[in-house]
Structure 1
């Protein structure tokens, strides 16, 4: 019995000595891993819409890939959803309160609705910890992402939405001047049409294009920004007012003059951009996002013959003609449910995708940014350089779907498709008015 007890004591001493020796080999990599020296894994989900073959989408995917390689402790679950279906998918999971951890979102209405639904948490803590990064943004950059002094995202770009792109070679061939007034635009359309040239490429399959890129600026030319903001708030103006109906009539006039190709509601904006790049149309009304796609897919010779300007002025318009509708670009939102180590990982991802280096790379991918970065023209297309200069010479006006409620914006999107197919402007104005008034309960 004594021998058995002695044997047990000897074994216990041996084990304790072995454990002590093992402990002396510890590398000091933390205690949460149980002394294995391996960093604790953190699972993090990311949703984005950088699925295309344009330079900006490629660049953002490269940044995400590098982040994954540099952070082996973060298990990044990525959902890459094509742009046309992205908002609908995000709103679906938002309605079920099943948001991804980090996700691409828009300033303005989307930010307000998600914050109002208690789905977001602010990133003030991250921004304040990186003051040099925060101070690098241009004035007003955070406005669309800010509610009650809480900032919910950092913009990853700058999006003028209504640029009139034109093919100078086609204009020269038919001895046309770039239109500065609405009458000049209609005359150019008629001249090009008579020569069997598509005047303006349009891809409105997803319904948002005519709203964001055409009516947001055309409407402002007619009504002025103050009227639109009042109508959006249903405070002293309505979408059935004569000035807004006139804006709808002008857009319909453009269609009736033969400005757009047949089947414009059956192709998307990427197909529209390729149509313009291939010289199949003399003009295109599109946002700054087109630059990264055009720069990736058009030759230098084709890009050199392209120009860009703002939408023409309209007779009797109340708005400033030296403007374009636009917003700061998308940013990364952070789910309200993210906390602890996962929140630290999410902050690192947000910084990687919208920090100073990412802003510089985004600019060089022919995408405008709302950040202080000096442009090296040797790294961008000639068309991008032209638009960059243009944007520094004009003011920005509201984009409809950044201000209207989701229901109001949907009514505009669907209404413009109907308008361009021959619908009555007054009837469409009434549908927009009803949707906006109902959604804000006025």
Structure 2
């Protein structure tokens, strides 16, 4: 994926086509669809939690149902890891729901290859003021052979350190900007019976997406990873990748994470932070919606964010975070006629200008040009938004590797954190990715 180096300026773009939301075909949905037929739509999503983003998206679904009596929605909400597993299962049987939350790059390409999706070019082109208001590069992860299959409903940088400044100040710990400073902070908090970094890796993608993708880029640089993903002259058994694995293992060996980190999820992880038991946790930008909604007010006032620290000798840019443009909606290849029209209507309600604004209002970054009003946003979200103005996004591993290799690296990192061999795990990743590409 092309680096989204222009994200910083686009996040606070000054041109917003607000007028499009209130004129002609952009008006709020009416009770009757274009055809007037009564239709039933199935939609699967991952807005099942109590974070602000999930609440906002479910409200859009409720409002859409109330405003469109001729369209009945059958809605199924699943946690992210559960949704990914379920989608892969129904994809194998060619039994996709009508609309479903999906991910850019690897998942999109695999579903297109399986002839499961239909492109949205014609629908998108019919609303140029919508299509042209996405940030540069936003549609690339959903484009295959010049056909566009979705648009991002958010922006997903995956790796930030959320820290409790009150705890850092209490134990005279500076916000770590280098690896050595991070390791020193880990020791200080352990000495004082505070969990240095809360981790919830029960859903085994978490360590890969939120920690390792950013950490590995610090070591190898993005160009190396993109070549390794394509098996283009470099391999995951190369020394720089093995060193990245060992850096992650170094954190675990130093007891940076609490006991049992592979048996709790991200919500439980954040609870350790909310309860003041952990000084830090590492998570994506999506965690912001949960933090501002559910963290105790006194702790929220002391919570700040930082990037992964630099690593001496590493080839990556320290002013970066791993990530992708956000999730999109897939449209089943089977939809035609009135059902397709209804699906497009719901698609636009969730990912059109109003949906993008609702997402931004839920303290969630978007891949869309909307100006953030700092006076109406939580200060921590303003801090994140400002940080992204000077931060570029580098590839996240599970967006670029094959599904088989993603499963291998996710399981491998769990093994690594429990003391497994970095070299052996690197070989498994290399063999899996090479086999997926027939190399």
The residue number in structure 2 matching 1:152 is 149
The residue number in structure 2 matching 1:8 is none
**How is 1:273-352 mapped onto 2 (pairs within 5 angstroms)?**
273-352=270-349
The residue number in structure 2 matching 1:78 is 75
The residue number in structure 2 matching 1:137 is 134
Partner of residue 422 from structure 2, selected from 382, 402, 425: 425
The residue number in structure 1 matching 2:52 is 55
CA apart distance, 1:158:
0.2
1:51 touches 1:82 (CA, 8 Å); kept in 2? Answer: yes
CA apart distance, 1:72:
0.6
CA apart distance, 1:381:
1.9
- Distance in structure 1 (CA, Å) of the matches to 2:49 and 2:374: 24
Tell which deviates more after alignment, 46-55 or 296-305. Answer: 296-305
Deviations 1:279-306 (A, max 9, x none): 2111111000110011110133321211
The residue number in structure 2 matching 1:26 is none
Indicate the SS of the match to 1:370: coil
1:42 touches 1:341 (CA, 8 Å); kept in 2? Answer: yes
- Distance in structure 2 (CA, Å) of the matches to 1:274 and 1:372: 33
Partner of residue 68 from structure 1, selected from 60, 65, 69: 65
Partner of residue 225 from structure 1, selected from 222, 233, 236: 222
1:176 touches 1:188 (CA, 8 Å); kept in 2? Answer: yes
Partner of residue 167 from structure 2, selected from 164, 167, 170: 170
The residue number in structure 1 matching 2:105 is 108
Aligned length: 408
2:189 touches 2:196 (CA, 8 Å); kept in 1? Answer: yes
1:274 touches 1:294 (CA, 8 Å); kept in 2? Answer: no
The residue number in structure 2 matching 1:252 is 249
- Distance in structure 2 (CA, Å) of the matches to 1:65 and 1:83: 21
Deviations 1:121-150 (A, max 9, x none): 111111111111111111111010001111
Tell which deviates more after alignment, 380-389 or 309-318. Answer: 380-389
TM-score (norm 2): 0.91
CA apart distance, 1:277:
2.1
The residue number in structure 1 matching 2:24 is none
Deviations 1:137-193 (A, max 9, x none): 111110100011111001000000000111100000001100110011001101111
2:138 touches 2:152 (CA, 8 Å); kept in 1? Answer: yes
- Distance in structure 1 (CA, Å) of the matches to 2:228 and 2:409: 13
Verify: 1:193 aligned to 2:190, yes or no. Answer: yes
The residue number in structure 1 matching 2:403 is 406
Indicate the SS of the match to 2:390: coil
The residue number in structure 2 matching 1:441 is 438
Indicate the SS of the match to 1:326: strand
- Distance in structure 2 (CA, Å) of the matches to 1:406 and 1:379: 40
Partner of residue 206 from structure 2, selected from 205, 209, 212: 209
1:303 touches 1:382 (CA, 8 Å); kept in 2? Answer: no
TM-score (norm 1): 0.91
CA apart distance, 1:376:
1.9
Runs of 4 or more off by more than 4 Å in structure 1?
none
Deviations 1:370-411 (A, max 9, x none): 111111223332211111111111111000000000011111
1:154 touches 1:354 (CA, 8 Å); kept in 2? Answer: yes
Indicate the SS of the match to 2:262: coil
The residue number in structure 2 matching 1:262 is 259
- Distance in structure 2 (CA, Å) of the matches to 1:102 and 1:166: 37
Highest CA radius of gyration, 1 or 2? 1
CA apart distance, 1:278:
2.1
1:300 touches 1:381 (CA, 8 Å); kept in 2? Answer: no
Q: Greater RCO between the two (CA within 8 Å, min separation 6)?
A: 2
The residue number in structure 2 matching 1:6 is none
- Distance in structure 1 (CA, Å) of the matches to 2:328 and 2:271: 27
2:37 touches 2:338 (CA, 8 Å); kept in 1? Answer: no
Query: Gaps spanning 5+ residues in structure 2: where?
Result: 1-30
**How is 1:226-241 mapped onto 2 (pairs within 5 angstroms)?**
226-241=223-238
CA apart distance, 1:225:
0.4
